[in-house]
Amino acid sequence: MSGIIPAIPKLVSNWFSKEKVGLATVICLAGFPTGDIIAVIATPYLVEAGNSWRQVFQVYGAWALLLIFLWWKFAREEPTTAKLPPSNLPSLRHDFAKLLRMKEVWLLTGLYFCAGGCYDTMLVWLPNMLQVQGLSTYLASAVAAMLPTGFLFSVVTIGAFSDKLGLRKPFILLMGFVSGPVLYLSGSISDAIAYVPVFLMGLCTVGVLTLVLTVPVEMPRLSPFLSSALGIVASIGNAGSFLLPTLVGQLRDISGTFLLPMIVLAIVGEGMFALGLMLPETGRKYKANVT
């Protein structure tokens, strides 16, 4: 999946006109939380209906094979793009080195690390956390499904609201500030009221992630190297999706409780607020005022 995700923005920009890129991107991103919701809810039933957990992997594996077939059947033609001149390797190296020296690249990478890492960590661990708190398997799955539901809601709202306001930074700061408390509450509440913080956690973490992928387009320093900049942000930032779930598991084994891991995740969540403070504003209203 990690190899597919960075290719999506490029495919969308190649396959669709500028007037349809926004809608195509939203529809594409909406597929991720939709799949998460289906998987979180359906997996317990698949386990119960089958003779072993292996059948769950077989069902999802068959679905992936079907998608591969559909892609091969209907998306074989190359996107219509103008042919570019051959790349100059020394120039690419120079541009890449230049990007690594830009503060904005590392701020965006840090935001991606925190937002994506916290979301994926909770997606992995939340059902188990809720069961430890005393919720039944099915109620835990239903509550956990609110995480990708918040993801889905953020995809279709945060970008539109920030476009309408003409500012990006206030949304990053607000969602970063809220992320810490709701991350902690999501793993601490032991009844159905956990629906609320879990939904807000999905909304806030992915809301920040959505804006992280939007801001580089509006940065004059990054726009000439947009693909390379997004590649750095996504590739290094995705380390959070590996490191944080592993850290939570280790802390859970050491402490015997999820309390310490949730405190650590809450601190990481608040890191989005701290990083957002240092990020320059890029919205159209701010640029209009500067002009």
Question: For residue range 209-218, what is the model confidence (pLDDT) as tens digits?
Answer: 888 877 887 7
pLDDT tens digits along 17-75: 765 666 677 777 778 778 888 887 888 888 888 777 888 899 999 999 999 999 888 88
Q: Of all residues in the chain, what percent carry a pLDDT higher than 90? A: 33
Per-residue burial over 99-116, b = 16 or more CB atoms within 10 Å of its CB, e = otherwise = beebebbbbbbbbbbbbb
Q: What is the model's pTM?
A: 0.79
Tell me the HSE value of 223 on the side-chain side, using a 13 A CA sphere. 7
pLDDT tens digits along 270-291: 999 999 999 998 877 776 555 5
C-alpha distances (whole Å) from 73 to each of 4, 76, 78, 116 are: 18, 6, 13, 32
Domains and CATH numbers, the chain: 89-280 (1.20.1250.20)
Q: Within 10 A of 288 (CB to CB), how many other CB atoms are there?
A: 9
Dist CA 69 CA 76 (whole Å)? 11
